[in-house]
């Protein structure tokens, strides 16, 4: 077995939105950056299978926007996952770079997005899919922010109006689960109406220190606030995955690759 850490969370469904549903489990994967865990990513697939999830959620940056744009390991993982589970996928800033810079990356995004959709992945490009698991109604959203919200240095404020323009309004009377790669805008997601947001992007702060947490983000921000774990604001929650891979600087210290497992109870 590989050294993948399982980070487990119990999230209580808000009572007014849900009645007598049985508990169920979701697995959340993020920031693979085309890393491989065994041939065909079989070790990672086995780690997911161990959790018997009702669905798998993907938070973006499964590939890296660089000169070669390698996608084979991400595709073999998604191939294995879609054979067993419904898979909902939101793009990260790397997929968005492929998409919005064809002059640099050619048709890499078209090829990758077509490939994952033909595997059966539900790709949510500022879109929502309604599903029902154990009598619980969920709206799963994929949020795709423009590049300026990922830039180095001082980040712009994310206005609620921008989120509403991108996504529309949350679905009333269901559990709104938002896949949003960039965790630093959690207060805006919570205010928009996400009951639970799942994010990645910061790779756990790459180097983790006891009592301090993550030291630096992949975009060289020191001591990022939402680096890994569970956060809460006004009863709305954020889970940030430390991710499964690296790009640019292959550095993870005291920060194993992570599978986030969410029990909805």
Q: Which residues of the shown chain bind Fe ion in the complex (CB under 5 A)?
A: 61, 92-93, 201
Do the Cβ atoms of 76 and 47 come closer than 8 Å? no
Do the Cβ atoms of 254 and 263 come closer than 8 Å? no
> Residue 51 or 217: which CB sits closer to Fe ion?
217
DSSP 151-191: -SSSPPP--HHHHHHHH-PPPTTSEEEEEES-GGGHHHHHH
Which residue, judged by CB position, is nearest to Fe ion in the bound state?
A: 201
> Residue 93 or 241: which CB sits closer to Fe ion?
93
Q: Residue 60 CB, nearest distance to Fe ion (Å)?
A: 7
> Residue 30 or 176: which CB sits closer to Fe ion?
30
Q: Residue 183 CB, nearest distance to Fe ion (Å)?
A: 10
Handedness of CA 121, 124, 125, 130 (dihedral sign): positive
Overall size of the chain counted in residues:
265
> Residue 194 or 240: which CB sits closer to Fe ion?
240
Q: Residue 181 CB, nearest distance to Fe ion (Å)?
A: 6
Q: Residue 227 CB, nearest distance to Fe ion (Å)?
A: 13
Pair of tokens at residue 120: 């059966």
Cα distance between residue 224 and residue 221, in whole Å: 6
Cα distance between residue 87 and residue 74, in whole Å: 13
3-state DSSP percent of the chain in helix, strand and coil, to 5 = 30, 25, 45
Q: Residue 228 CB, nearest distance to Fe ion (Å)?
A: 14
Do the Cβ atoms of 240 and 227 come closer than 8 Å? yes
Cα distance between residue 120 and residue 107, in whole Å: 20
Q: Residue 112 CB, nearest distance to Fe ion (Å)?
A: 16
Q: Residue 94 CB, nearest distance to Fe ion (Å)?
A: 6
> Residue 36 or 92: which CB sits closer to Fe ion?
92
Handedness of CA 45, 137, 23, 194 (dihedral sign): positive
Pair of tokens at residue 93: 């800033």
Half-sphere exposure of 183 (CA within 13 A, CB side): 29
> Residue 92 or 205: which CB sits closer to Fe ion?
92
> Residue 170 or 224: which CB sits closer to Fe ion?
224
> Residue 100 or 137: which CB sits closer to Fe ion?
100
Q: Residue 58 CB, nearest distance to Fe ion (Å)?
A: 13
């Amino acid at each position: 077995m590989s050294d993948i850490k399982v980070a487990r969370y119990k999230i209580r469904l808000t009572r007014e939105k849900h009645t007598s549903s049985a508990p169920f489990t979701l697995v959340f994967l993020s920031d693979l950056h085309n890393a491989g865990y065994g041939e065909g990513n079989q070790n990672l697939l086995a780690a997911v299978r161990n959790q018997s999830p009702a669905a798998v959620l993907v938070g973006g940056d499964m590939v890296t926007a660089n000169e070669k744009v390698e996608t084979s390991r991400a595709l073999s993982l998604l191939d294995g996952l879609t054979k067993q589970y419904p898979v909902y996928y939101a793009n990260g800033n790397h997929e968005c770079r492929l998409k919005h810079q064809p002059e640099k990356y050619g048709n890499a995004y078209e090829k990758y997005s077509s490939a994952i959709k033909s595997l059966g992945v539900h790709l949510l490009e500022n879109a929502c899919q309604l599903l029902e698991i154990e009598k619980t109604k969920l709206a799963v959203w994929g949020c795709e922010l423009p590049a300026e919200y990922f830039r180095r240095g001082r980040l712009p404020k994310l206005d609620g109006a921008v989120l509403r323009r991108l996504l529309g309004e949350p679905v009333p009377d269901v559990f709104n689960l938002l896949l949003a790669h960039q965790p630093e805008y959690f207060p805006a997601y919570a205010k928009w109406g996400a009951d639970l947001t799942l994010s990645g992007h910061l790779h756990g702060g790459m180097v983790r220190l006891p009592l301090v947490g993550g030291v630096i983000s992949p975009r060289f921000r020191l001591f990022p606030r939402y680096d890994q774990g569970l956060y809460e604001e006004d009863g709305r929650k954020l889970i940030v995955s430390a991710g499964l891979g690296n790009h640019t600087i292959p550095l993870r210290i005291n920060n194993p690759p992570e599978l986030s497992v969410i029990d909805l109870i």
